[in-house]
Structure 1
Amino acid sequence: MLTTVRLSIIVMVLSISGDLFSQIRNNYFSASHPYFNYMGRVDSSQREYVRFDWPGVRVRFRFTGKELKLYFKGGQRNYFDLIVDEKRMGVFYASGDTVVEIEGIKGKGPHSVQFIKRTEGEMGEARFYGAAFYPEGKLLPWIGNSTRRIEFIGNSITCGYGSEALGRDEKFDPRTENVLKSYASIVANAFQADYHVVAHSGLGVVRNYGDNQPVSVNLATMPQRYSRILDMDDSSTWDFSSWCPGAVVINLGTNDFSTKPHPDKAIFQRKYEELILKVRNVYGSVPVFCLVGPMIDEPCFSYVKEMVENFKLVYNDSNVYFIGIPTELLNDKDDLGADWHPSYIGHQKIANFILPVMSNILKWNY
């Protein structure tokens, strides 16, 4: 099946058979090539491809030539943004093995490319096989890495759930989920920082959304998934030494308290504290920002604030900070997307609330 999207260039999305890869010889570079740069957690244990499922994972590279082909498998309900020479080319979906063919790129380059996963892990695993460049194009190393790095740990808000929906009454659709329009991406872009997003909708510190028990036992919570390379694969373990952020932002608790039964205060605070200790163990004394809101208020607001203050005293750690985002920050019209989650406008307000605090602590201008 062939789909043609007419933009300033011609983009063709073609389904391919498995044996096509064996036919590729000239100007093809495998995903294992060191010139491909990956922002986000990826499993590179296979020579033929890298696989990933967390939202916001980016494949980044530079090349020479006038034509580009990307070889990938998109996953069941995943969507991707493609940016060439700082210009957004479009949104792509492909559940099977696919080649995205881009023709008519102006000039021989060098050109820059970013291929970005908009959707979260539950939408499926993605695989990137490699890229080909014509005529006689070459792969070049990425040169845009930032010295500033942020890791975001969160739930649906951090994922950008429904951020492109037209209103609060729309139901979830992966086409309207876009982590690039979440507060996490907005904050990182404002600081010109590279960032990782470790987030999954509906998950809490000890209790996931809608669970009929105060502590979830049948589905892993976010702290239990934190050490994974892949969100949906509990056999994978991330190498924390491979990427160390200068700040960590945690936005959890909304799902613990959005429905009843609520978890016990002591259990919630202890497990949240254990997550911060895990961050300390793998990253050292980096600033940790604990966010609450704007989709939840009490008792989560007070519990997290108290936990942060106690953490500072018990562990003699002054580099942990509480940021309480009031529910009044967002109005119930323009600021809300699908299922009452923040819209892109809402996420901009959240980011604007967070940025001055982080800037003051980190001494990062934006």
Structure 2
Amino acid sequence: HTFDMMKASVIFVLILQLVGCVYSLVSRKNIRDDNEFNLVGRFALSAQNTYQATWPYSGVKFNIEGQNTTSRVYVSFGSCTADCEYFVEAHVDCSPVQKFEVNATSTSIVLDLATSVGQSYEIQFRKLTESSNGNAKGVIEFGEIFLEGATLIPLKKAATLQNQNHNCLHRHKLLVIGDSITAAYGVDAANPCQFSAATENEEHSYAVLVAQQVQAELHVVAWSGKGVVRNYGDVNPTSTEPMPTYYNRTLATSPFTSDPAGGNYWSPSAFPADIVLVMLGTNDYSTQPTPSDEQFISGLVDLLHRIGADYPQAKGHVAAMCAPMQTGRQCANIATAAQQAGVNYVFIDPDVFTGGYGCDGHPNAQTQQLMANIVTPAVKTMLNE
């Protein structure tokens, strides 16, 4: 694996040298340089000294200063397995500008920018797809970044630039825990359609839209098919590994080590969220046999209590939400659990589906927006804003 990455880097540098007649290579940086890069989301440091992540919307951000009227940003990712496929969105000044596919045969991307000499820009690359679902799978691994026509700005200096773009201003930290709805499963396609990695896009999820409206830095912990106590299609009323099993994992697809204080454990103090939203329950009730009321309510109350203990700064700003894909006593039991746990309850009316469907009956982008239109004022009420 280490040899493959070294070989890829050598080839990448040769490519850059070949295009040197148009651009001059300004800098080549490993993302381990904490003086110039910020990681967003849950990341682990690999044995190859690269940063890895699996959860949706994980990524890296940094600031550059233009030295030319055109600039290029090259990102070299770690090698993918044969069936690896995920998508990444590039952001410039906190607005999405281009979507890229990363797979086993394409592990580098190039972002071309129109820049002004001396002007600063915030650049982000965000993972759009979830940890593992169908062909949407793979660990995003940031290795090196190459710049042409621009230089990196150290974090201390970047902090003084005060980018006034609304989406760049963060006054809160928001953690959203959910299933396929939160992961934006099938959001970029029109029903009827078959899910694929290309149809999933966290950028169009209610979670991102709400975060933008309340000016919150966002962490997303979402995985299709997971429930509070029962996962989709399980032959039993409860599952051995529902979503609470993954709640505090750094990498979703890697289990904890024998020491929960190390290994793959995600410490809540690393991202002290002051707002936490939980949208689970659809999978618990989507197929038979469903859990009993007591099983579901106690499972959700336990999770909400864990959240309260992990994020004391979010007291009063935690909500259990009933998604618009509803069956049986799903919403009633979520409301009961919220009351017992002392958190807020948010009901999302199925009428939001007037916006339309994506794949397999999931919300499309317009429906996700209508969901955000309900969740955003609820969050602002919790915050007294």
Taking structure 2 as the reference length, what is the TM-score of the superposition?
A: 0.82
In structure 2, the partner of 1:28 is 28
Q: Which residue of 2 aligns with 1:166?
A: 190
Asked if 1:336 corresponds to 2:357, the answer is yes
Task: Give the AA of the match of 1:63.
Answer: I
Of the structure 1 ranges 103-112 and 175-184, higher mean CA displacement relative to structure 2 is found in: 103-112
Residue 202 of structure 2 is aligned to residue 179 of structure 1: yes
Pick aligned residue for 1:308 from 338, 343, 347: 338
Q: What 5-or-longer segments of structure 1 have no aligned partner? A: 1-15, 313-319
Q: Deviations over 1:293-347 (max 9, x none)?
A: 20014311111111222233xxxxxxx111111223323xx42111000011001
Alpha-carbon offset, residue 99 of structure 1: 2.7
Alignment of 1:197 onto 2:220: yes
1:285 CA drift (Å)? 5.1
Q: Deviations over 1:48-68 (max 9, x none)?
A: 310001001121101234332
**2:278 aligned residue (250, 256, 267):** 250
SS at match of 2:114: coil
Deviation per residue, 1:193-216 (Å, 9 max, x gap): 111000000000110001111011
* Residue in 2 that maps onto 1:72: 77
Does residue 140 in structure 1 map to residue 161 in structure 2?
no
Question: Given that residues 73 and 94 in structure 1 are in contact (C-alpha distance below 8 angstroms), is that contact kept between their aligned partners in structure 2?
Answer: no
Do the aligned partners of 1:80 and 1:91 also contact (CA within 8 Å) in 2?
A: yes
* 1:31–1:47 CA contact under 8 A, matched in 2: no
Please give the alpha-carbon distance, in whole angstroms, between the structure 2 residues aligned to 1:253 and 1:210. Answer: 13
1:279 positional shift: 0.8
The amino acid that maps onto 2:32 is S
CA distance in 2, matches of 1:190, 1:196: 15
CA gap of 1:293–1:94, structure 2 versus 1, over 3 A, is closer
Specify the alignment match of 1:278 in structure 2. 306
1:12 counterpart residue number: none
Structure 1 residue 99 corresponds to structure 2 residue 108:
yes
Is this contact kept in 1: 2:305–2:341, CA < 8 A? no
User: Given that residues 64 and 150 in structure 2 are in contact (C-alpha distance below 8 angstroms), is that contact kept between their aligned partners in structure 1?
Assistant: no
DSSP 3-state at the match of 1:138: strand
User: In 1, Cα distance between the equivalents of 2:313 and 2:63?
Assistant: 34
What amino acid sits opposite 2:38 in the alignment?
N
Q: 1:18 aligns with which of 6, 30, 36?
A: 6
- Whole-Å separation in 2 of the counterparts to 1:67 and 1:350: 36
SS of 1:354's equivalent in the other structure is: helix
Cα distance, 1:356 vs. partner?
1.4
Cα separation, 2, equivalents of 1:19 and 1:297:
52
**1:345 paired residue among 361, 366, 377:** 366
Task: List gaps (5 residues or longer) in structure 2.
Answer: 14-24, 160-167, 257-263
Query: What's the % identity of the aligned pairs?
Result: 27
How many equivalent residue pairs? Answer: 337
Taking a change above 3 Å as real, the CA distance of residues 145 and 57 of structure 1, as seen in their structure-2 partners, is farther
Match of 1:119 among 126, 129, 138: 129
**Contact 1:30–1:48 under 8 Å retained in 2:** no
